[in-house]
């Protein structure tokens, strides 16, 4: 029993990595994210960020551009999670009602009821898998670490403490009380061994890995070719003074392709490019 718990802890340690809101949102399946629009706050002191996620516009204010961007992503994560959990609750209620009705039909319909019940269980399991709890947990851990730092506690680098991937709690200002000194401290920590890949880098999204290894990078859409639905996006990212281009049918795919090209060139990874023609 003890060995099983230790094994489970090791597995969780590799999968539950601290990730800021942008990273967590970017890794959620089926999420469409537009380009971020960031401008100085009209009230002064800070920035206003807006973004469209799954056709819903979000706006947030932060003390820095990264902070405003992450606040926007946090709002999107909140809505996505609440909607998915609501859908799951409704599905379970429907399944419970269906089982109750089937049991009242008597023995004559037992065989048919069992088949229907099996189908409901399959749908239920698929719906549960669609709730991105790992993404939410990764962001929750990141936010908790940021809160501890803002309260004055020295949070050790997770790569040294647990032997996991680098702590992705870069200066994203998950809480507006984080000051410049804290941001600088985290940035310096993440700058150490900047070409040393985490052990489980193959399981990470290429864009997430690139953001971990080079905090603060920016993906920029440089060209949009064609018309809907045959649109091709070209995205660039500058890493270590080198420009890498990604091409895809969506901005998300193009960002991934650019990240793959950068990671393979700079860190010697072996990510495979998708066919984006």
**Domains in the chain with CATH codes:** 1-98+131-151 (3.30.160.20), 201-267 (3.30.160.20)
Are the CB atoms for 252 and 268 separated by under 8 Å? no
Query: What is the pLDDT, as a whole number, of residue 77?
Result: 95
Give the pLDDT score at 65: 85
Residue 46 · residue 68 · CB < 8 Å: yes
Query: If we measure between CA atoms, which residue out of 273, 230, 226, 268 comes closest to residue 254?
Result: 273
pLDDT averages per 10-residue partition of the chain, 277 residues? 82 82 90 90 84 94 86 94 91 86 65 52 55 90 83 66 45 36 37 67 86 85 86 92 92 91 92 68
Backbone dihedral angles phi then psi of residue 75, each to the nearest 5 degrees: -65, -40
Per-residue burial over 180-197, b = 16 or more CB atoms within 10 Å of its CB, e = otherwise: eebbeebeebbeeeeeeb
The per-residue pLDDT for 30 is: 87
Q: Which of 96, 21, 88 is nearest to 60 (CA)?
A: 21
pLDDT at 179: 32
pLDDT at residue 203, as a whole number: 82
pTM over 0.75: no
What is the per-residue burial (b if ≥16 Cβ within 10 Å, else e) of 82-92? eebeeeeeebe
Q: What is the C-alpha to C-alpha distance for residues 251 and 235, in angstroms, rounded to an integer?
A: 7
User: What CA–CA distance (Å, rounded) separates 51 from 59?
Assistant: 7
Separation of first and last alpha carbons in the chain: 51
Q: What count of other Cβ atoms lies within 10 Å of the Cβ of residue 65?
A: 19
């Amino acid at each position: 029993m003890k060995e099983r718990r230790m094994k489970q802890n090791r597995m969780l340690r590799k999968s539950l990595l601290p990730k800021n809101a942008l990273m967590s949102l970017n890794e959620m399946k089926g999420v469409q994210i537009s380009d971020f629009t960031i401008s100085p706050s009209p009230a002064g002191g800070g920035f206003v960020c807006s973004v469209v996620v799954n056709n819903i516009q979000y706006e947030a204010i932060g003390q820095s551009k990264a902070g405003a961007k992450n606040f926007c992503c946090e709002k999107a994560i909140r809505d996505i999670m609440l909607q998915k959990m609501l859908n799951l609750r409704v599905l379970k209620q429907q399944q419970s009602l269906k089982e109750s009705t089937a049991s009242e039909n008597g023995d004559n319909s037992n065989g048919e009821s069992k088949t229907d019940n099996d189908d409901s269980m399959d749908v239920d399991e698929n719906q549960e898998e669609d709730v991105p709890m790992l993404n939410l947990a990764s962001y929750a851990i990141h936010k908790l670490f940021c809160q501890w730092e803002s309260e004055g506690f020295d949070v050790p680098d997770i790569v040294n403490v647990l032997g996991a991937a680098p702590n992705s709690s870069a200066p994203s200002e998950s809480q507006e009380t984080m000051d410049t000194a804290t941001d600088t401290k985290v940035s310096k920590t993440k700058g150490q061994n900047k070409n040393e890949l985490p052990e489980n880098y193959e399981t990470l999204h290429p864009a997430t890995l690139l953001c971990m290894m080079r905090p603060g990078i920016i993906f920029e859409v440089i060209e949009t070719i064609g018309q809907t639905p045959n649109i091709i996006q070209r995205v660039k990212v500058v890493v270590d003074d080198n420009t890498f281009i990604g091409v895809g049918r969506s901005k998300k795919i193009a960002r991934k392709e650019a990240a793959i090209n950068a990671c393979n060139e700079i860190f010697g990874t072996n990510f495979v490019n998708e066919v984006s023609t």
